[in-house]
Structure 1
Amino acid sequence: MRAVDISRCRMAVAAGFLTQGLILLSLTTRLPEFQDRWDISDVQLSLILLMMILLAGAGSVAAEMLAKRKDSALLLRAGLVVVAVGVAMLCTAQTMGLYIGGIALYGLGLGVVDASTNMQAVALEHRYERPILPSFHGAWTLGGVIGAGVTLATTDLPLEAGAAVAVIPLLVAFGPFLPRDHGPTELPADVAVPWRPILLVGVAMVLFYMVDTAVQTWGPLFLDHTFDTPERYVALSAMAYLLASGIVRLAGDGLVARFGPVVVLRVGAVVGAGALAIVVFSSTWQVAVVGFAILGGGVAVVAPLSFSAAARIAGGEGFEPAQRQARVDAVIARFNQFNYVGALLGSVLTGIVGADSLRIGFAVPMVLVLGIIPLAPAFAPRIAAALTTPRPSGP
């Protein structure tokens, strides 16, 4: 494939990441409004989010199964269309049942898009032969900032106006995504995927998404419920978090090259715990926003480093290019399940534990994020290289 084609594919995949972040944040920053419209309690909202996350996990599992036979570009297009329909449905719903139905459809599409964008990203990283995952996740962050900004700019508009963002995934679905190499795409039946070493990296990603989802889901509600925050400014929790995260992700390649992933991850975990302590003990909503911003900078590079490490471990040797890509696609889709385990902890557990006070709810990720410290050595290049050494087929 010519370099110019790869560049166009990279832009299209980045647009997919950006769309994913934009849609999610445009919805989560409006949760206080949806909560008021349908008179949903925090516990009920936690259960609705649980349903959405489980369906997202189901979508990711479906993507894993289909990735052995279907092109991840096709999966991404299909997922984007499902997301568009779900968003339009939940924003324009006139009954609680239709709203929940739209959330369910959005969750299913989210899982497919989540898995297939990362499939495309790791395939492109392999083509470029250098780290580019942080820039893709930076595009997601930029999309989230835009989504939160849309909420800030359209606070006075009715919720139905939010359905307009559904046009974006429909447009992106027609982008020039990376096609799979020609050749056989079925994986041999005896191919062993090294799940055990991948698990350590996956647990770190669980802890990251626990924090990430807690902020995006409950951050606006924290400002709304804990302080007398003007409704227009509740989205600043997510926006501050994402802005700081985006800045660090842009510098992420250089930071990792200079200090190594172990140091970067350990320092980030300590910074993240301290930032959540600022949130938990904040006296004003402005101080809480500062805490969310520091948190975003602390944990920014965990997810891209996790996907890169998992792809290296899964790549294997001795496969045709199409088989290698199919193998990595299947592994990335399953690895993406760690995302939803973290999302369950972040959105559901934070909401249930914090039913009486979201300060208590945010104390959960404040403690658990420190678990990244002992897991950081699993990201070391020498260990990753050892884990990718060819092994005989077998369990």
Structure 2
Amino acid sequence: MPSTDLPTGTLARYRLAVALGFATQGFVFIGLTTRLPDLKDRWDLSELAISGVLLAIVLLAGGGSVLAERLAARTASARVLRAGLVLVAGGAALMLASPVWAAYLLGVGVYGVGLGMVDATTNMQAVALERRYGRTILPSFHGAWTFGGLLGAAVTLATADVDLAWTAVIAVVPLLAAGVAFLPRDEGTEAPGGTGVTTGPAIPWRPILMVGLGMVVFYMVDTAAQTWGAVYLDDVVDAPSRWVALATLPYLMASLVVRLAGDSLVERYGVTPVLRVGAVVACAGLVVVTAAPTWPVAVLGFTVTGAGISVVAPLSFSAAARIAGGSVERVDAVIARFNQFNYVGGLLGAVLTGVVGQDELRFGFVVPMVLVLSLLPLARWFAARGGSEVTPTRRSLHRN
């Protein structure tokens, strides 16, 4: 039974709205990253220059996440989410349609801040709904992100011959999503172990930090694959330009399948074994990518990588919210700060991959290939408090 005073139908509508927020973020993000080869050609950028642009986006997104934390302490996360979606729309449109370099950089700035705000607030909303349901539902929300990313990659494939400026119409999607009714704040909803952001027991930051390191690993691998995958197919294994988005599309399809199965996999086998097996699978996929002699083999490697790494992020947010405990405000603050691990991983995945691989991009993918194995020791921190493996429906996520 859901732990909430909201009618089941109303709860389902909010769940659909939050899933739409995730899907919109995925649609725009992948819609932009799969256009990187075109943006690279338009502005005559080197791999190092692209790394600089990505670094700016990551740093600005971190600032956007901090801004979301501050704003969510004063108003509902739903309002902050709407504002973030509007910024994402404006930034994406400028990045794709700008006729001059200065306007493109402005788009990078606006998009980066909006990206961080939406990242933080969609997860705030998802965690709040998960607590009301009393069971794990985070993987399905991240699956919605993946579904949106699949649509973004499909649009890129379908419009490969369209002038880049016209692809800015993707900005309409986040503008429409901003008008959706998201979950309002329930000031009375609390979890055991605290009564507010600053009251009650101190937030146990050490286990949250260890879970956060796992999320760093996820975003390092995920961002490397999604940001550099299309460039890798285009420059290294000589894929036809029309098919470079295939670095992302099968990766996302594999991620979607595993995320949709994530709830049952964790309930059946426990979070630690699921994460450890996934780490080994992801490492194997990246080995295939770095050694690929042809572009179809590289696509296979990206697909295996997506299957292995996909459930780390949703399980990270679930674990962080559970460990934090306390009121909605307390959990929102923790989730916004925890979201910063996203951008540390983004730095490693997007920027470090490009810097290490500036002369030979194959070498860049060795970085995530090696570091993904750090999930093997980190996985135990995702288990229930005290280290016991329990299913979400029995204890670890039953909150109210």
TM-score by length of 2: 0.92
1:113-128 equivalences in 2 (<5 Å): 113-128=118-133
SS of the residue aligned with 1:120?
helix
Paired AA for residue 100 in structure 1: L
Is structure 2 residue 122 aligned with structure 1 residue 112? no
- Partners of 1:123 and 1:190 in 2: how far apart? 19
SS of the residue aligned with 1:108?
helix
Deviation, 1:188, is 5.8
1:122-161 equivalences in 2 (<5 Å): 122-161=127-166
Residue of structure 2 equivalent to 1:297: 307
Which deviations, in whole Å up to 9, do the C-alpha atoms of 1:261-281 show, x marking residues without a partner?
111111111111111000000
Question: CA 1:297/1:189 → structure 2, altered by over 3 Å: closer, same or farther?
Answer: closer
Deviation, 1:4, is 1.4
1:159-308 equivalences in 2 (<5 Å): 159-182=164-187, 187=196, 189-191=198-200, 192-308=202-318
Aligned counterpart in structure 2 of residue 23 of structure 1, from 21, 28, 33: 28
Which deviations, in whole Å up to 9, do the C-alpha atoms of 1:197-248 show, x marking residues without a partner?
1001000000000000000100000000102211110000111110001001
Paired AA for residue 272 in structure 1: A
Q: Which runs of 5+ in 2 are unaligned?
A: 1-5, 390-394
TM-score by length of 1: 0.94
Aligned counterpart in structure 2 of residue 371 of structure 1, from 371, 374, 377: 374
Residue of structure 2 equivalent to 1:320: none
Paired AA for residue 302 in structure 2: F
Paired AA for residue 277 in structure 1: V
Is structure 2 residue 330 aligned with structure 1 residue 327? yes
Residue of structure 2 equivalent to 1:69: 74
SS of the residue aligned with 1:283?
coil
- Partners of 2:14 and 2:229 in 1: how far apart? 34
Is structure 2 residue 101 aligned with structure 1 residue 96? yes
- Partners of 2:259 and 2:197 in 1: how far apart? 37
- Partners of 2:131 and 2:237 in 1: how far apart? 47
Which deviations, in whole Å up to 9, do the C-alpha atoms of 1:144-198 show, x marking residues without a partner?
1110000000000001111111011111111110000146999564452221110
Q: Which runs of 5+ in 1 are unaligned?
A: 317-323, 390-395
SS of the residue aligned with 2:38?
helix
Paired AA for residue 340 in structure 1: Y
SS of the residue aligned with 1:381?
coil
- Partners of 2:203 and 2:384 in 1: how far apart? 19
Q: Contact 1:313–1:384 at 8 Å: present in 2 too?
A: no
Q: Contact 2:380–2:387 at 8 Å: present in 1 too?
A: no
- Partners of 1:194 and 1:67 in 2: how far apart? 21
SS of the residue aligned with 1:149?
helix
SS of the residue aligned with 2:248?
helix
Residue of structure 1 equivalent to 2:42: 37
Is structure 2 residue 68 aligned with structure 1 residue 58? no
SS of the residue aligned with 1:251?
helix
Residue of structure 1 equivalent to 2:360: 357
CA RMSD of aligned residues (A): 1.7
Deviation, 1:37, is 0.4
- Partners of 1:30 and 1:227 in 2: how far apart? 18
- Partners of 1:111 and 1:3 in 2: how far apart? 31
- Partners of 1:183 and 1:124 in 2: how far apart? 14
Paired AA for residue 177 in structure 1: F
Is structure 2 residue 343 aligned with structure 1 residue 340? yes
- Partners of 1:253 and 1:184 in 2: how far apart? 23
Deviation, 1:90, is 1.4
Q: Contact 1:312–1:384 at 8 Å: present in 2 too?
A: no
Question: CA 1:306/1:360 → structure 2, altered by over 3 Å: closer, same or farther?
Answer: same
Paired AA for residue 28 in structure 2: I
Which is further off, 144-153 or 173-182? 173-182
Q: Contact 1:85–1:105 at 8 Å: present in 2 too?
A: yes
